[in-house]
């Protein structure tokens, strides 16, 4: 396991003149926040998250220094008494959870160095997207003479183009479980919650199952934006383009492996056959 941050970044703010007058690297320093998911033994202060912060224009207000989101990692930057990095303790602080929400649902309290998660907003977003899905499914169903009922997975002719609505349902279930404090989902214990593990694609042994789920041909928003006239024809054309692109990717992947090695003939009769 590698250390989850760049060790050449200072761990304390360094104010050498105005923040805007230095290059980007000089304006950054490492810091650790803790989230609101606490465990009495593993995470008494909450789960640690560490990453580079960038000094605000007013460097007197440290609580305004923002995180550089792409570099936020799961672990704590631990220091020795002399301010150097305690590499072993830093590595040992790295934790794993089978699921965390997208970065846009992270909420930061910079004064308290606290991270919370906006699960209600995540759930609301997924419900709205699911409503959009069913509106698009109903539009397709009207063209295909297929009844679409909200909350029920549509006929295969529709899911082949739009994908399954279960993806929205599953993300809602994960958010609700995290909000309720499921210990496996939050990384507190190793024993899987089998229902949640199945959603995330793990088998009963806790191993990730590699499965191929074809990408939807079209998004619900695209379907709703299409005119009714020629709707099915446009989707069929998009499906053909997607299939052609998939073939191209497969051929490119094959070519990357290099030419196939020709097996040497094992006896003279094979050579004779080749000559003939």
Contact call for residues 53 and 68 (beta carbons, < 8 A) = yes
pLDDT score recorded for residue 215: 80
Taking the C-alpha atoms of residue 243 and residue 263, their distance in angstroms, rounded to an integer, is: 33
Look at residue 271 and give its three-state secondary structure: helix
Question: DSSP states of 176-200 as a string?
Answer: HHHHHT-TTTTTS-SS--HHHHHHH
Q: Is the pLDDT of residue 242 over 80?
A: no
Alpha-carbon Rg for the chain, nearest whole angstrom, is: 26
Are β-strands 28-35 and 114-117 bridged in parallel, bridged antiparallel, or unpaired?
Answer: parallel
Per-residue pLDDT of 250-274, as tens digits, reads 777 777 766 555 555 444 444 344 4
Q: Which of 39-53, 55-69, 123-137 has the lowest mean pLDDT?
A: 55-69
Per-residue pLDDT of 109-155, as tens digits, reads 988 999 999 999 999 999 999 999 999 999 999 988 999 999 999 99
Partners of 50 in the β-ladder = 32, 73
Taking the C-alpha atoms of residue 258 and residue 223, their distance in angstroms, rounded to an integer, is: 40
Contact call for residues 50 and 118 (beta carbons, < 8 A) = no
Q: 119-144 and 166-180 helices cross at what angle (nearest 10)?
A: 160
pLDDT score recorded for residue 266: 46
Q: Residue for token digits 């007013």?
A: 58
């Amino acid at each position: 396991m590698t250390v989850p941050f760049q060790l050449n970044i200072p761990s304390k703010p360094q104010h050498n003149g105005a923040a805007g007058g230095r290059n980007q690297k000089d304006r950054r320093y490492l810091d650790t926040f803790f989230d609101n998911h606490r465990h009495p033994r593993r995470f008494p202060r909450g789960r640690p998250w560490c990453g580079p912060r960038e000094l605000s224009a007013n460097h007197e207000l440290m609580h305004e220094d923002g995180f550089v989101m792409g570099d936020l990692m799961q672990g704590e930057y631990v220091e020795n008494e002399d301010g150097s990095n305690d590499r072993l303790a830093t590595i040992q602080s790295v934790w794993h959870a089978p699921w965390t929400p997208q970065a846009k649902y992270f909420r930061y309290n910079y004064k308290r160095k606290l991270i919370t998660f906006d699960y209600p907003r995540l759930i609301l977003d997924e419900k709205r997207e699911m409503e959009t899905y069913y509106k698009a499914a109903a539009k397709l169903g009207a063209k295909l003479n297929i009844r679409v009922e909200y909350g029920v997975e549509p006929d295969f002719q529709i899911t082949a183009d739009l994908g399954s609505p279960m993806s929205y349902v599953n993300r809602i279930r994960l958010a609700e479980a995290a909000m309720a404090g499921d210990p496996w989902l939050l990384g507190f214990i190793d024993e899987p919650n089998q229902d949640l593990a199945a959603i995330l694609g793990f088998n009963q042994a806790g191993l990730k199952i590699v499965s191929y789920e074809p990408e939807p041909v079209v998004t619900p928003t695209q379907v709703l934006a299409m005119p009714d006239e020629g709707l099915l024809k446009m989707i069929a054309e998009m499906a053909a383009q997607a299939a052609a692109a998939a073939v191209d990717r497969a051929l490119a992947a094959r070519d990357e492996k290099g030419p196939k090695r020709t097996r040497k003939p094992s006896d003279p009769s094979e050579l004779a056959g080749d000559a003939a």
